[in-house]
Amino acid sequence: MPLDRVVTIEAKMASKRDFFEDPEVQRILMERGFRVHITSMGSRGIATQDVAGYDVVFPSGQPAADLITDKRAAAGRPALTYRPFVSPIVLGTYREYAETLRDVKIASPQPGQGADPLYYTLDMAKFLRLAEDGTRWDDLDVERRRVQNGNKILAQTSDICESNSGGTYLGLVSFVWHKNEAPSTEKQADQYASAIKKLLIAQGLPGSERAETYLSVDGKSIAPISVIYEHQFLAHQIRYEATHGKPDNERVLLYPSTRFVTEPQLVALTDDGERLGELVLKDPELQQRAMELGFRVRDATSDSTSEQLAAFLKDRGIQVPVTSADDTKAVLPSLPLLERMIKAVGDCPELPGEAK
């Protein structure tokens, strides 16, 4: 397509920018007349800073998107949102660590996977009690010592003050720790935040992108367990299988027994942004590519996630994660209360453009 007919979209994006940075996605968009220029920042930064001059913003989860759309609605400038795919919050780890948790009955393989399962269910309440007690890997009473690690057992997150995954994991931890209840008042939110702070601050200084660390050569020595999105793991497995002819059996996922599925929303701020949103939501080639990048793609004709991903993984000899209707689903606090808890737990500085 002639360059003078290509529209450049100015976008602010968090971790889901990996979709738009994919060369194949860029090729498809160029054929449709779009080039996307991305400014990267955390989801909370996107939500609280000025979006003037941008066509779209794409925080990684619903809370930040709601913050943006609520502000625009209050200002008389409503924005359309598009939800092309979803991705559960998961804990990425390594086989010997998952099997150690299995030995102490805190993790169990998902059914039907054979001798080398890629997916485990993690008893979140038991896991958090290990963190509460300050238990170290070397403290676990196991017959077979699979790991030698004197560090405390915990899950590393991206920066709670900046990232959707960090803030969402905070909400998930609070929900589990308080017997499947979300706070409904500011007083409760303050109490809940205080109660879980020690479960989260012991992790040290969190990195900006946990998935990059987890998938790196040195990931195991840096953080045995990392909070990531399911699509990041599946995209790695798809790439690994394409290169090596088999899955990466060293890296595995822990699915919290209490689940939370993130719903990233592309918020269109201009007419060109709306055109891009419609394309990402409905274009068959873009939907196919999103699935190849590990996302659970929404069917444009329904409100459910497509089963195509399961078939795609099976065709490549990659195990398919199991979800059950019986799983407890975490409920996050209302947006103002979640923001209050994030600031309390993370001791977050005021973000540029944020009201004091």
Q: What is the CATH number of the domain that holds 207?
A: 3.40.190
In degrees, rounded to 5, the angle at the alpha carbon of residue 203 between the alpha carbons of residues 223 and 336 is 120
How many domains does the structure of the chain reveal?
2
Q: Do 80 and 153 reside in the same domain of the chain?
A: no
Q: Do 82 and 97 reside in the same domain of the chain?
A: no
Q: Do 131 and 151 reside in the same domain of the chain?
A: yes
- Whether 299 is in a domain gets the answer yes
Q: What is the mean pLDDT of residues 46-73?
A: 88
Q: Check residue 183 and give its pLDDT.
A: 95
Q: Do 37 and 101 reside in the same domain of the chain?
A: no
| Residues contacting residue 186 through CB under 8 Å, at least 6 positions apart | 337, 340
Q: Do 194 and 285 reside in the same domain of the chain?
A: no
Q: Do 70 and 97 reside in the same domain of the chain?
A: no
Q: Do 243 and 103 reside in the same domain of the chain?
A: yes
Min mean pLDDT across 56-65, 90-99, 252-261 is at 56-65
Q: Check residue 3 and give its pLDDT.
A: 56
Indicate the angle between helix axes 164-177 and 186-201, nearest 10 degrees.
Answer: 110
- Whether 198 is in a domain gets the answer yes
- Whether 355 is in a domain gets the answer no
Q: Do 28 and 132 reside in the same domain of the chain?
A: no
Q: Do 250 and 146 reside in the same domain of the chain?
A: yes
Q: What is the mean pLDDT of residues 207-233?
A: 88
Calculate the average pLDDT of the chain: 89
- Whether 79 is in a domain gets the answer yes
- Whether 194 is in a domain gets the answer yes
Q: What is the CATH number of the domain that holds 8?
A: 3.40.190.10
Q: Do 130 and 183 reside in the same domain of the chain?
A: yes
Taking the model in full, what pTM does it have? 0.90
- Whether 323 is in a domain gets the answer no
Q: Check residue 355 and give its pLDDT.
A: 46
- Whether 178 is in a domain gets the answer yes
Q: Do 157 and 230 reside in the same domain of the chain?
A: yes
Q: Do 117 and 131 reside in the same domain of the chain?
A: yes
pLDDT band at 302 (very low <50, low <70, confident <90, very high): very low
- Whether 254 is in a domain gets the answer yes
What is the Cα–Cα distance from 340 to 18, expressed in whole angstroms? 29
Nearest alpha-carbon partner for 319 in 119, 93, 120: 119
Min mean pLDDT across 26-30, 187-191, 255-259, 348-352 is at 348-352
In degrees, rounded to 5, the angle at the alpha carbon of residue 115 between the alpha carbons of residues 114 and 121 is 75
Q: What is the mean pLDDT of residues 166-181?
A: 94
Q: Where are the beta strands (DSSP E) in 155-275?
A: 226-229, 251-256, 258-259, 261-262, 266-268
Query: Is pLDDT above 90 for 242?
Result: yes
Phi, psi of 313 (to 5 degrees): -65, -45
- Which residues form the domain of 227? 87-260+328-346
